[in-house]
Amino acid sequence: MSKKVIFLFVITTFCLSCATFHDIDMYRSKGDSISTMYNHGWENVYDVMKIVLNNDEDFSIYFEKMNCTLEYVKGEKRIWVKMDGLCMGAGIYFIPLSDSKTKVEVVRSRFIKIFFSDKEIEQIFKKSMDILNTNTMGSWC
């Protein structure tokens, strides 16, 4: 009997902490995001952020420890952070405001907020901005 109760508790906890694409979009619509602005076109910002997320040792190790995978959906101007391939951990949205101005929003699920802090998101923003402003993408590829 106690094994069944523990099993049900674990499954319930997992399901409650699991977010879907819809949940991430709902959090975003409620303004539950961290954002920044870039004075660059969205495609350049997207490409640089992809380079930072894939090649920066700190983030690679972090995502590996968290058992996260990154799904790049450039056509939708998004990057999804998936937890164990089952749940959505976060969404990174690229909003073109003009040909040379882009807003980037990071929206996290309730569960990943514990592990993916504001400081880490700000580091991603800063590293991306540094590359864009120095135009040194080639050194990261």
* Domains of the chain, CATH where assigned: 19-139 (3.30.530.20)
Strand partners, 71: 80
Structure-token pair, residue 121: 């998101």
Least confident of 4-18, 19-33, 91-105: 4-18
Strand partners, 79: 72, 92
* CA dist., res. 128 & res. 46, Å (int): 9
Query: Look-up: residue for tokens 């003009």?
Result: 98
**Between 54 and 17, where is the model more confident?**
54
Q: Provide the 3-class DSSP secondary structure of residue 136.
A: coil
Q: What is the pTM of this model?
A: 0.77
HSE of 11, CA atoms in CB hemisphere, 13 A: 6
At residue 113, the pLDDT reads 67
Residue 138, pLDDT above cutoff 70: no
Least confident of 12-26, 73-87, 88-102, 111-125: 12-26
Amino acid identity, position 75: G
Query: pLDDT digits over 97-128, tens only?
Result: 999 999 999 988 766 666 677 888 899 999 99
